[in-house]
Structure formats: structure tokens, C-alpha cells
Amino acid sequence: MRMPFEFATAGHIVVGGGRAAELPEILAGLGSRVLVCTGANPARHAGLLAGLGLPAAVFPVAAEPTAELARVGVAAAREHGADAVAAIGGGSVNDLGKAVAMLLGNGGDPLDYLEVVGAGRRITRPAVPCVAVPTTAGTGAEVTANAVLASPAHRLKASLRSPLMIPRVALVDPQLTVSCPPPVTAASGLDALTQCLEPFVSTRANPLTDGLAREGLRRAGAGLRAAYADGSDLAARADMSTCSLLGGIALANAKLGAVHGLAGVIGGTADVPHGMACAALLAPVIDANVRALRSARPGSPALYRYTEAARLLTGRPAASIEDGLAWIRETNTMLAVPGLGTFGVRPQDADDVAAKAAGSSSMRGNPVALSHGDLRAVLLQAL
């Protein structure tokens, strides 16, 4: 176990069916005018938007967040005189809201702070208060310290990142996810599962993230298939909203691994929903990691972690790593997860993706070093 460690999380996490109704009360304590980021169709949240209490300007996030979209959002917030941000939507909407809140608090341009493709300047001042209200159960963006922005010019996605970007309040209401269509439930749910598993086996795991990841994996095992089979199953939706929340806190504090290292690169080059990329890569990465660990470090604690994860996911106390892998593959089939080839990823891209992924920040959390050949083989299996 890695010691010492740090642990950062949101100021206030509010969870429960129907609790989105508390948004006006929460906002009233945080600001006087609010910019509300939503998905492309704000009318989906007409009920919530009608009773916000504060003067509100609505900013629909109709496309994947980019540095340019963050600039437009900041301009809209300034024009409205917003001193608080609410983000009601999926991961993209929450990330954009977090980026705008950070830029309102720190000034400057997104590229001043963006990692990899920007100047990577340190974020030193608090973001303006941001309330994150997820409407999917997947990214955990309501509690993470980064916002992913795409840079179409670089064909890359990069993050704005600081503990100061963790939303002031995460308002997690599983009822908001009931209207998610099955493909979104599948992609976001498998992302949530992956975001509990990768921190659990990460080189940066710590005792606090372990507890969260274990509970998140158990919830994914209980709720993922059921939420997909019947979107109105509130107990399953609550399991998955909780899994997503736990995964977000875990990954913000213990990092991720090769699934996210590869998915990040693929997301910059092909039009693949992030969760679908994770879903297709998950079993091949576990397989590659377990093989590499068994040959290089047969006593590695990560192998015990994979066994424990298999038991939590399957609900069977004697399950092996192979049983866990079979459960994940079967889940992918049940949830109609397509291969990456469906999204235009080609075998000839494998070398390039493997090379770029090797240098990604997620890869540093992977429990074992995977060779270029390993990463290439993983990608080919995920096609």
C-alpha cells in the first residue's frame, strides 16, 4: 500500500432520488446569478430550470467541449454577470461547466492551463461555485478534479486539472438517469465500472480509494445489467449513479490505467463515445495486465485485487479472475457493446495509438508496464 497519500473531494455531496429538487436552495447559498450549462436540449430539464430561484442564463452544450466552447461559455457567463455555475447533464456538460467556473475564478484562456496541448499553467485560485448535477451514471465528473477538452487541431483530448476544479456541490439524483436510452446506459455504466476497477488496481491506490472502489464494483455487479434491461428500475439506477460517483472520487485520487490511456487517445482520433471505448478495451486490458503480472510479478497485490474485483462483480465469493473476465465479456454482449472497428478505428492505427497511449498520464496508474506490443495487441482485440 502506497503511503503517504492525499485525498481531495467535493465540498458537499448530496445523493438521493428526487433530490435534484434541492437545486434552488443549494444555488441560493452559493451565488446571486447563475450560468446553467445543459445538454443540447434544455427543454429536457424544463421543470428544474423553471424554478431555479436565481436569475439564470442557460448555455446549451451541443457539442463535445473544446477550448473554444469554454471561451464562449465564459463570455456568456460574463455577459450575464454570473457568479456561480450549475451543470445539468452528462460528462461533457459537467466538464464544460467546471472549465467555465475555473476560468471565471482564475481569468485567462483555456490554453493557458490546458495540459499537453496548452501551456499547462498551474491553477492557483478557486473556481467560482459550481453545482454539478449528472444526468448519466458514468463519468463521475461531478466529483473529479479535471475537465476534458478536445483540441481538434491536435486530434487530442487534454485536461484542465486542479483540486480547485472539484465542483462545490455534487447533486446526484438517480431519477435524472431514468430517461437515458439503453446505449447511453451501457456506455456510461461500463465507464463507471472501469473507473472503479482501474483505481482499485492502480499503483496509486490508497486505503480511502480502495473502500470506494470496492463498493463501486459491488454496485456495478448488482446494477449494470439490470439498469440496461429496464431503465425504469430505480434500484439499479441508484446502484449505477452511486458506482459512478464512487469511481469519480476514486480516479481523482488514485489515477486510472491502460483502458483510459488507450481510450483517451482513441477518443481524440475517432468519433467513439468514451464509455464505448472503455467497454471494448476493458476485457483485453485486464487480460494483458494479468498475463504481464503473472509472468513478471506473480506475487503482485494487483493480482489479488483482480480476483477480489471478479468476486464483487459476479457476486460469487469463489470467483476467479477468469470468471470476472467472462462476466465482463458476457455483459458486453448483453449490452450490445460494439467493437472499436464500428467507429472507424482501423488495424493500421494500432501502432500510432499504442505509442501515444504509452505516454498518457492514465498509463502511469496501470499496475504493470505494458510493452508496445502488448498495447498494440489489446487494441487489435478491441476492434
The nearest distance, CB 258 to Zn ion, in angstroms, is 12
Q: Smaller CB distance to Zn ion: residue 77 or 197? A: 197
The nearest distance, CB 284 to Zn ion, in angstroms, is 16
Which stretch, 186-194, 198-206, 285-293, 357-365, contacts Zn ion (CB under 5 A)?
186-194
Answer for the pair 157, 105: CB distance below 8 angstroms, yes or no.
no
The nearest distance, CB 80 to Zn ion, in angstroms, is 31
Q: Smaller CB distance to Zn ion: residue 191 or 239? A: 191
Q: Smaller CB distance to Zn ion: residue 173 or 191? A: 191
Spatial distance between the Cα atoms of 8 and 158, rounded to a whole number of angstroms: 21
- In order, the DSSP letters of 311-379 are HHHH--TT--HHHHHHHHHHHHHHTTPPPGGGGT--GGGHHHHHHHHHTSTGGGGSSSPPPHHHHHHHH
**198 counts as binding Zn ion under rule CB under 5 A:** no
Write each residue from 325 to 344 as x if it is in contact with Zn ion (CB under 5 A), else as -, in one continuous string. --------------------
- Identity of the amino acid at 233: D
Residue 178: Cβ within 10 Å count: 16
Which stretch, 30-38, 94-102, 184-192, 344-352, contacts Zn ion (CB under 5 A)?
184-192
Answer for the pair 194, 155: CB distance below 8 angstroms, yes or no.
no
**Each residue of 103-128: b (16+ CB within 10 Å) or e?**
bbbbeeebbbbbeebbeeeebeeebb
Answer for the pair 3, 209: CB distance below 8 angstroms, yes or no.
no
Q: Is 33 exposed, middle or buried (0-12, 13-18, 19+ CB in 10 A)?
A: middle
Cβ-proximal residue to Zn ion, closest one: 191
Q: What are phi and psi of 15, to 5 degrees?
A: -130, 135
Partners of 134 in beta bridges: 89
Q: Smaller CB distance to Zn ion: residue 244 or 307? A: 244
For Zn ion (CB under 5 A), the number of binding residues is: 1
The nearest distance, CB 191 to Zn ion, in angstroms, is 4
Q: Smaller CB distance to Zn ion: residue 191 or 374? A: 191
**191 counts as binding Zn ion under rule CB under 5 A:** yes
Which stretch, 95-103, 120-128, 187-195, 353-361, contacts Zn ion (CB under 5 A)?
187-195
**Each residue of 348-383: b (16+ CB within 10 Å) or e?**
ebbeebbebbbebbbbebbbbebeeebbbbbbebbb
Tell me the three state secondary structure of residue 269: helix
Write each residue from 31 to 50 as x if it is in contact with Zn ion (CB under 5 A), else as -, in one continuous string. --------------------
C-alpha cell read off for 308: 477480489
The nearest distance, CB 138 to Zn ion, in angstroms, is 7
Which stretch, 101-109, 147-155, 185-193, 301-309, contacts Zn ion (CB under 5 A)?
185-193
Q: Is 202 exposed, middle or buried (0-12, 13-18, 19+ CB in 10 A)?
A: buried
Q: Smaller CB distance to Zn ion: residue 82 or 281? A: 281
Residues within window 98-157 making contact with Zn ion, judged by CB under 5 A: none
The nearest distance, CB 279 to Zn ion, in angstroms, is 10
The nearest distance, CB 119 to Zn ion, in angstroms, is 25
The nearest distance, CB 250 to Zn ion, in angstroms, is 11
Q: Smaller CB distance to Zn ion: residue 214 or 260? A: 260
The nearest distance, CB 180 to Zn ion, in angstroms, is 16
Which residues in this chain contact Zn ion in the complex, by CB under 5 A?
191
